[in-house]
Amino acid sequence: MQKFFTMLANKPRLTSFPYQVSCVAQWTMYEVEPAKVKPWNNKLSFAIRTKADFGNSIQLVNGSARKLTFPHVLIKRPGNSYQSINVGGGCSLTLDYPSGQCQSMMTALGLAADEHFLTFELNSGLEALIRKVVELAQVSITRGSCDRLDVAAYRLLTELVVQGRYSSAVNTDRNVFMKLSSYLQAHCREDIDFDRLAVRFGMSRSTLFRKWNRLFQVSPARYIQELRLQEARRLLVETGERVCEVARMVGFDNVPYFIQAFRRYFGITPTAFRKNENFIPGIGMDIRRKSTPDASSGPEGQDRKQ
């Protein structure tokens, strides 16, 4: 990583773009011991921290601690104090703006007055925008470069906000749906009413299916069926119940359909499975299923097709 520090506050512009960068810096963070508390009074700063030796850092804002994973953006606004702990060696690109632009810029980016952090996923598009800002900062003496840098920096910040909002929404959805999948594991023997299930988790039926299919690779109905089949396999091993009773115990009213589904999933009929003590469940199944997690880890990685 090439380190640099470029002052742009007094550089002439050819356009009147409202958000003009006053300083761009790229540097290596290294603060293992608590850094001094630093009051922030004269500028708005976006520290884009892409990676570090440690998996996370602790950031104090006005005395309140927040544990941050990388990558993230630290937003420093006038009138606040900041202290970094346990950052370690890492890369940071900092964009500074005059304090007078703080309120209008925060509003334009859709950031709340008390918002100090953004987490994001570093993809190829963001990497390209970061490279563009760095390239323009290093040739800022070239005519028009400052104007292009102002626009490129604002576009980068916009993408970081969009990414941060999307990542936050996905993480929230994932937490909700992991709880939902755990609920299905506990109630897989019961008749599941998806309308009531959706209400229970605070959404409509269509939203439940849409978000589930976005996060997992198997439909809710297929997931429930596979949970029932796995429970049936356990009962065949651990109990002496007849096949028809096992089918009913796990929620299958149609015994022939249960036998067909069991054979399709495990590659063997329930009766043959019980008789064959050396049978290893999974042999004869779709090879894609070998690398998938079991029911206790949720429905990720399984086949969506029914």
> What does the pLDDT read at residue 232?
95
Query: Looking at the 3D structure of the chain, how many domains does it have?
Result: 2
Q: Is 80 exceeded by the pLDDT of residue 40?
A: no
pLDDT band (50, 70, 90) for residue 299 = low
> What does the pLDDT read at residue 34?
53
pLDDT (average), residues 271-286: 61
Same domain, 152 and 226: no
Q: Flag whether 151 is in a domain.
A: yes
Same domain, 111 and 227: no
Q: What is the CATH number of the domain that holds 84?
A: 2.60.120.10
Q: Which of 70-74, 130-134, 169-173 has the highest mean pLDDT?
A: 130-134
Q: Which structural domain, as residue segments, surrounds residue 108?
A: 4-169
> What does the pLDDT read at residue 37?
62
Q: Flag whether 177 is in a domain.
A: no
| Residue 55 exposed, middle or buried by CB count within 10 Å (0-12, 13-18, 19+) | exposed
pLDDT band (50, 70, 90) for residue 3 = confident
Same domain, 13 and 153: yes
Task: Identify the bridge partners of residue 91 per DSSP, sorted by sequence position.
Answer: 28, 51
Q: Is 50 exceeded by the pLDDT of residue 139?
A: yes
d(CA 145, CA 152): 10
The sign of the dihedral angle between the CA atoms of 259, 262, 267, 269 is negative
Q: What strands lie across the sheet with 56-61, from one edge to the other?
A: 38-40, 80-85, 56-61, 64-69
Question: Please, are residues 90 and 70 in contact by the beta-carbon 8 Å criterion?
Answer: yes
pLDDT band (50, 70, 90) for residue 17 = very high
Same domain, 27 and 141: yes
Q: Flag whether 77 is in a domain.
A: yes
Q: Flag whether 180 is in a domain.
A: no
Number of H helices, E strands in the chain: 9, 10
Same domain, 75 and 224: no
C-alpha 51 chain-centroid distance: 16
pLDDT band (50, 70, 90) for residue 285 = very low
pLDDT band (50, 70, 90) for residue 86 = low
d(CA 38, CA 30): 16
pTM here? 0.58
| Domain closes at, from 169, 196, 228 | 169
Contacts 24+ apart (CB under 8 A), 36-39: 36/83, 37/81, 37/82, 37/83, 38/81, 38/82, 38/83, 39/80, 39/81
d(CA 161, CA 144): 26
| Domain closes at, from 115, 137, 169 | 169
DSSP single-letter state for residue 190:
S
| Domain closes at, from 169, 200, 234 | 169
> What does the pLDDT read at residue 102?
93
Same domain, 109 and 242: no
Q: Is 50 exceeded by the pLDDT of residue 290?
A: no
pLDDT band (50, 70, 90) for residue 301 = very low
Same domain, 193 and 165: no
Q: Flag whether 182 is in a domain.
A: no
Q: Flag whether 68 is in a domain.
A: yes
Same domain, 224 and 124: no
pLDDT (average), residues 54-68: 82
Same domain, 191 and 160: no
Same domain, 146 and 49: yes
**134 or 282: whose pLDDT is higher?**
134
List the structure tokens of 128. 């390209």
Question: Please, are residues 118 and 69 in contact by the beta-carbon 8 Å criterion?
Answer: no
pLDDT (average), residues 37-42: 71
Q: Flag whether 175 is in a domain.
A: no
Same domain, 153 and 283: no
> What does the pLDDT read at residue 130?
95
Question: Please, are residues 295 and 230 in contact by the beta-carbon 8 Å criterion?
Answer: yes
Q: Is 90 exceeded by the pLDDT of residue 306?
A: no
> What does the pLDDT read at residue 50?
86
pLDDT (average), residues 175-199: 90
For residue 285, give Cα distances in angstroms to 58, 267, 281.
47, 5, 8
pLDDT (average), residues 289-305: 41
Same domain, 157 and 305: no
Q: What is the CATH number of the domain that holds 265?
A: 1.10.10.60
* Residue keyed to tokens 């009773």: 245
pLDDT band (50, 70, 90) for residue 210 = confident
Q: Flag whether 179 is in a domain.
A: no
Q: Which of 29-33, 61-65, 211-215 has the highest mean pLDDT?
A: 61-65
Question: Please, are residues 92 and 31 in contact by the beta-carbon 8 Å criterion?
Answer: no
List the structure tokens of 95. 């964009």
Question: Please, are residues 79 and 62 in contact by the beta-carbon 8 Å criterion?
Answer: no
